[in-house]
Amino acid sequence: MNRITFPMLMLGLSLAPIVGCETKPSANQSPASAAEPQSKASHNDAAQLKAAQDERIKVLTQIVETVAEQQKTGTVDVVDQLFSAESELCDALLDSTNEPEKRVALLTKQLDKANDFVKVLQARGEAGKVLLQDVLRAKSQYLGVKIKLLRERSKKRPPTPNPTGKQS
């Protein structure tokens, strides 16, 4: 069985490509020649962004699968790590799409996972296995996902027509 330790995870994440670095023309490069490859650069940036997003999703998917496997086999009690990894993966998937229906579907799925996470921690809290702040943090995370989902749904809907026909 593959075991990913925290240091290995951090190393993998630190080696992931960094997106958003801006390059500026050098002092001996004229502004005109710097502007010429602008469209090529923006196309290259878009391609690099897409590649970085795809790689991030792949890495986070591997993390979720590994942690889920550890939880199934009972190797480690990692329910909070699993939810955290699933949340990161959801955020990465949200970053990679602008399609409202897909975003709502992703957030709906994550809301169900957050609800399950709250239930698990509540049961553990009642058994004295986790602290109250852990249960409250899980509830806060659930509410955060719910807020994102409700906001995304409100973006998706077209404005309701005014029944009187008057414009405001």
Q: Are 121 and 86 in contact, with CB atoms under 8 Å apart?
A: no
Dihedral, CA of residue 50, residue 56, residue 59 and residue 63, to nearest 10: -140
This prediction has a pTM of 0.63
Q: Are 162 and 110 in contact, with CB atoms under 8 Å apart?
A: no
Q: How confident is the model over 92-128, as pLDDT tens digits?
A: 999 999 999 999 999 999 999 999 999 999 998 999 9
Domain coordinates in residue numbering, the chain: 45-156
132 burial (CB, 10 Å; 0-12 / 13-18 / 19+) is exposed
Q: How confident is the model over 48-96, as pLDDT tens digits?
A: 999 999 999 999 999 899 888 887 776 656 778 888 899 999 999 999 9
Token readout for 160 is 């309701």
How far is the CA of 103 from the CAs of 4, 38, 85, 90, in angstroms?
A: 29, 31, 18, 9
